[in-house]
Chains A and B, each alone.
Chain A
């Protein structure tokens, strides 16, 4: 019977939460529409549709200054033009005029083929290509250099010589490993970010707002148990997170053609685990008794922290010293790894036992601590 009463109370708390949400159109809009849509659309806009390859520099106007005017430099031009990375190569600039035009936005880079280019190649010596870049565009220089290097793999200065393969001619590296689009990579980040961002605000922010309004104290004075309150709120937010996951995945799959390497159930399960983890942390933070403003500040810092240390942007292996230690202690990092390894490389969830155990243990610890602190504050309130 106590179990039935507990469930009834939890259900009542959950229903109350939904009623409050229904009355707040702005909250519905932000939590369920703006956050998932805006993040996913931004990702699609930035990285293009999944499976669609695009060259970030193909549309940029780049000057090709040929100071050598030989067969080799002509063949280089045609190699670059046909690579798909240099669709707007323009000729007619001298080195000086190209330099003067750079930075105005009319051309973004100038590829200079110096005199003696063909001669060096003919003498089996290294030939140089000089690339001037408008580096006020961050990332452009490296992208152009990378694209030229890739094109050079197919470049042969004379028709009868087969293409040079950029170095290790006699050892081929056969690469294995899952291949996926940059949209799919972004999808794992967006999904995690949307869940963490929205969940933390809903739980910690909701509890703090209720504390500030005085409704939380009133709720504690009712016969409803603390466990039922926490459970009810958890169920409510799990439903919201399931909707959010559906929104993000639906948009990613149907609008941007994403093809996750795992099934929907697995992604939903990991999303809900991430949500539970964040909820546990949210309850813990709200148990400290801080105001809504502080909650938002913590939320902002939490997201920044996760950006730096949890594998969102940087693989954890690349972090050194304290950063590395922090990253291995952050439970969200394991959740993000679960998302990456399932969505990107299709690894079965149950084989990722280490990550699952860490996430589950963290959920238990967060909830346990939060319950303990909330209980203390309730006792203080009763006294």
Chain B
């Protein structure tokens, strides 16, 4: 046991020393989480901006005071920008079909008279639905503008309106956070995958892995050492991420050591899977590409951004068999809800058992490869 521990720590030290000597790998370990977060911030900022300039054209075929008032309300909307006032319906449709505008609002003849006579009026809204978010924002802007027009004309908006007040149990604002805990999970996965490329396949390519195996150090010690090095690197990455989290305003309600424990178990599981894959995929570049290819769908399936409970039934089934889902779930619950060890014990158990199953298989297959 003493020897095992000694060999393991020697391999760990070697791995870390090797990383320190490779500035590119070292920079990547630090830069890529930051870049990933920045990209995510760009996406979130775009979705939660207070105003947009989505191009909308309007064709006021009515020309009444009511229709002009509606055009005014559309023009002053924070979501859209009325780029053109067109004479005909066809011109308005053409603007959307040609991509010049995301939406076209057509106010038909008789609109004002209908409102004055307390009858139902209508407007036609054509949207370019290939622009998913923009088209729904245009719909929302038109809906608010028509509502505002009715309010300004003193029309009762329905006696029995019901307001839904949403109260998240974490006490966070409803608008959510710029960064979500699942991002930490994904960065842990990507980082651990990169570590395995550094630790095994690149060493295989250089020919140093077989030399290492020929030393009296056992293969289990080698793997344990490499995993330990990943644990150290993961702790550094987690620290960096937590600092970014705090700077972007995310409150970590739960225990920080529990966050470290969860990311460590995610990293160890990912490393175990990586070790298994590396027995079959011997080229470091191919392994990296495979890992990236696996990781992108995981963003959706393993609950990195949206909870897997909201996926279709097939997706939920896939999510349930992915151990990473449990890791991300644990991170969300610790960071958002502040739950303790008991509440995430099953999640952590799934990750641990999965690693314990994969690691011996990887060791066995690796021995065969050698």
Contact = CB atoms under 8 A, between A and B. Distances in A.
A299 B118 CA distance: 61
Interface residues of A, number: 109
B125 interface: yes
Nearest to A144: B166
A164 B161 contact: yes
A38 to B, nearest CB: 6
B289 A201 contact: yes
Given A42-B318, A303-B296, A135 B336 contact: yes
A143 to B, nearest CB: 6
Contacts of B167: 130-133
B161 A126 contact: yes
Given A137-B309, A177-B127, A318-B49, A293 B24 contact: yes
A124 B133 contact: no
A323 B46 contact: yes
Contact of A148 (B164, B169, B305): B164
B312 A167 contact: no
A66 to B, nearest CB: 14
Contacts of A30: 286, 289-290, 293
A129 B163 contact: yes
A291 to B, nearest CB: 9
Contact of B129 (A167, A169, A180, A209): A180
A46 B133 CA distance: 19
A135 B312 contact: no
Contacts of B305: 138-139
B47 A314 contact: yes
A94 to B, nearest CB: 16
B247 to A, nearest CB: 20
A263 B311 CA distance: 29
Contacts of A300: 32, 292
Contacts of B60: none
A356 to B, nearest CB: 12
Nearest to A56: B310
Nearest to A208: B285
A143 B142 CA distance: 22
Given A44-B314, A130-B165, A176 B126 contact: yes
Interface stretch (A10-18, A222-230, A280-288, A337-345): A337-345
Nearest to B149: A171
Contacts of A319: 42, 46
Given A134-B169, A304-B36, A314-B133, A42 B158 contact: no
A121 B160 contact: yes
A47 B285 CA distance: 31
Contact of B155 (A59, A138, A169): A169
B243 interface: no
A29 to B, nearest CB: 9
Interface in A89-141: 99, 102-104, 108, 121, 124, 126-141
B159 interface: yes
Contacts of B164: 128-129, 131, 145, 148-149, 152
Contact of A344 (B130, B143, B147): B130
Given A45-B317, A130-B167, A138-B176, A193 B160 contact: no
B38 to A, nearest CB: 9
Given A155-B162, A169-B157, A303-B296, A308 B42 contact: yes
B43 A185 contact: no
Nearest to A152: B162
Contacts of A257: none
A95 to B, nearest CB: 11
Contacts of B336: 135-136
Contacts of B170: 135-136
Given A46-B315, A169-B157, A319-B46, A103 B292 contact: no
A369 B32 CA distance: 29
Nearest to A125: B159
Contact of A138 (B96, B180, B301): B180
Interface in B268-282: 280-281
B312 A175 contact: no
B339 interface: yes
Contact of B160 (A135, A164, A170, A351): A164
Interface in A177-191: 177-180, 185
Interface-centre pick from B96, B97, B159 (highest chain A CB count, 10 A): B159
B102 A299 contact: no
A315 B80 CA distance: 14
Interface-centre pick from B36, B289, B337 (highest chain A CB count, 10 A): B289
Given A128-B162, A138-B332, A171-B150, A48 B313 contact: yes
Given A42-B301, A129-B162, A304 B131 contact: no
**Which A-B residue pairs are the 9 nearest by beta carbons?**
A48-B312, A137-B307, A42-B297, A135-B168, A45-B315, A124-B159, A56-B310, A45-B314, A176-B126
Given A103-B339, A127-B160, A344-B130, 9 more contacts: A46-B312, A56-B310, A60-B309, A131-B164, A138-B176, A169-B157, A170-B118, A197-B293, A315-B133
29 contacts: A26-B286, A38-B297, A39-B293, A45-B301, A59-B313, A102-B169, A103-B333, A103-B337, A128-B165, A129-B162, A129-B163, A131-B167, A138-B307, A139-B310, A140-B307, A142-B174, A169-B150, A171-B149, A172-B121, A173-B124, A179-B129, A185-B132, A209-B285, A314-B43, A317-B52, A317-B102, A318-B134, A320-B46, A323-B46
